[in-house]
Structure 1
Amino acid sequence: MDPLIFNALADEGAAFTAGVAALSTVDWSRPTRCAPWTCGDLVSHVRTGFARVPEMLALPAPGAAEVDAAGYFRPDHRFDPEVDAARVAAAQSDALAGPAEAAADLATVCRQTLAAASGAPEGRLVRTRHGDAMTLPDFLVTRVVEVAVHGLDLADAVSAGSWLTGPAAAVVFRLLFGPQWTEVVRTTGWDHARLLRAATGRSADDVAPVRPLTLG
């Protein structure tokens, strides 16, 4: 496995967990740009995404990969109103009572996820809850995208500084812009958080990713 992917997941997971631990009980119920989710709901959604990794690895591997990380974020039936409503409801029903409890739980889930991923054999395939067969590294890239982008959503909701890590930015920008991603960073002159907001439609800044992603 590309060490950058694993390190990005580990570093961004730790940064996100620290960000959650720093929230107040008032912050927990603040709205986010991912309406109708509150901060607590959004944390629940990210936690669920991490937990899928050990769950997948406990199941038999599919025979062949069918989609890559970019294909996972394609706009299809997974973003139909009914599916979106179920995703929203699941995050709301699973949200824990407050940030301290959620941060402790998230730290445990992150450790379990990293342990499962590091123990998987080279070339391991997994099947997503939507039925896509993928390589494990490609699925881990999708987890980096989720925790990085929603980390910005959470930080922005409480007017906190971005905790986006360098390894996570590299993984996400490589997916969005391809091998020339460093040139995009240089040309815009923006910091990583500003570029990620722009590339995912979270600001008025204008930048066009090579591979636009449909995010829930």
Structure 2
Amino acid sequence: MELFSRSWVGLREAVAALPDGDFGRASGCAGWLVRDLVCHLVIDAQDVLITLVTPAEGAATVDAVTYWRLVDPPTGEDPLDALIPRLAAAYGEPWLLKFHLDDVGAAAGRAAELADPAVLVGTRGEVLTVGDYLAAYVLEWTLHHLDLVAHLPSVAGPDAGSLAAARVALEKIAGRAFPASFSDRDVLLVGTGRRVPTGTEKVALGEFGARLPFVLG
């Protein structure tokens, strides 16, 4: 719960501090501007609110690791991928996007703090505990925080605790650890295809490199 709150607050604070001109810059998500990424975060916050008030019965079907599915890299043909830029553009002014993220995002954060981590909830046709659901989102928030600052070197990135937790999660999804020479940030960027590995990194990865990237959905 603490890691969820820390990673989510850090991401929202980074967005809130952005000057208007940065919303038209590229993000770390291929094909998305910063404004598109922020619009996606609004939808993510809505999903958190919906899931936390969607109780489920029976046994859990996934946990914080198996919640994530490995999918093919996006091609741009997904209707939702195409919808996000149009929605983001409809806001017009960056302050409206900031306001909406702050409003819905704060509500999602409060709902997470008030939720019982042992309660079962349903989402995407699966059942899992609130604790596992929120733990899964630490990876989501941390990756998108990296996306936010990808071309904004003056903006603070994720904190060390969030990066470390996200690395652990990605390594569990991968089924093995990345080389110790990789920083947590590099594991997340290279492991999810946000950055091409250097020659030295390719050597360190060995045969494991052929399995990259891990695209999560």
* CA deviations over 1:73-108 (Å, ceiling 9, x no partner): 22359x8869x6232134224323343332332223
Instruction: Tell me if 1:148 matches 2:142.
Output: yes
Instruction: For 2:212 and 2:63, locate their aligned partners in 1 and report how far apart those are by CA, in whole Å.
Output: 12
CA-atom RMSD in angstroms? 3.1
Q: Which residue of 2 aligns with 1:118?
A: 113
Q: What is the number of equivalent residue pairs in this alignment?
A: 202
* CA deviations over 1:57-77 (Å, ceiling 9, x no partner): 222323221122322222359
TM-score normalised to structure 1 length = 0.77
Instruction: For 2:215 and 2:131, locate their aligned partners in 1 and report how far apart those are by CA, in whole Å.
Output: 19
Structure 2 unmatched ranges of 5 or more: none
- The partner residue of 2:84 within 78, 91, 99 is 91
Question: Taking every aligned residue pair, what percent have the same amino acid on both sides?
Answer: 27
Instruction: For 1:204 and 1:89, locate their aligned partners in 2 and report how far apart those are by CA, in whole Å.
Output: 25
- The partner residue of 2:194 within 181, 186, 202 is 202
Instruction: For 1:108 and 1:91, locate their aligned partners in 2 and report how far apart those are by CA, in whole Å.
Output: 19
Instruction: Tell me if 1:72 matches 2:67.
Output: yes
- The partner residue of 1:177 within 144, 168, 171 is 171
TM-score normalised to structure 2 length = 0.76
Instruction: For 1:21 and 1:58, locate their aligned partners in 2 and report how far apart those are by CA, in whole Å.
Output: 27
**Deviation (angstroms), 1:29:** 2.0
Query: In the alignment, is the contact (CA less than 8 A) between 2:28 and 2:146 conserved in 1?
Result: no
- The partner residue of 1:166 within 160, 165, 175 is 160
Partner SS state of residue 91, structure 1 = helix
Partner SS state of residue 54, structure 2 = coil
**Deviation (angstroms), 1:122:** 4.0
Query: In the alignment, is the contact (CA less than 8 A) between 1:57 and 1:116 conserved in 2?
Result: yes
Q: Which letter does structure 2 place at the counterpart of 1:88? A: D
Instruction: For 1:153 and 1:74, locate their aligned partners in 2 and report how far apart those are by CA, in whole Å.
Output: 20
* CA deviations over 1:143-168 (Å, ceiling 9, x no partner): 22111111111101334444111231
* CA deviations over 1:39-67 (Å, ceiling 9, x no partner): 11111112211221221222232322112
Query: In the alignment, is the contact (CA less than 8 A) between 1:127 and 1:133 conserved in 2?
Result: yes
CA, structure 1 residues 7+85, in 2 after alignment: closer, same or farther (shift >3 Å)? same
Partner SS state of residue 36, structure 1 = coil
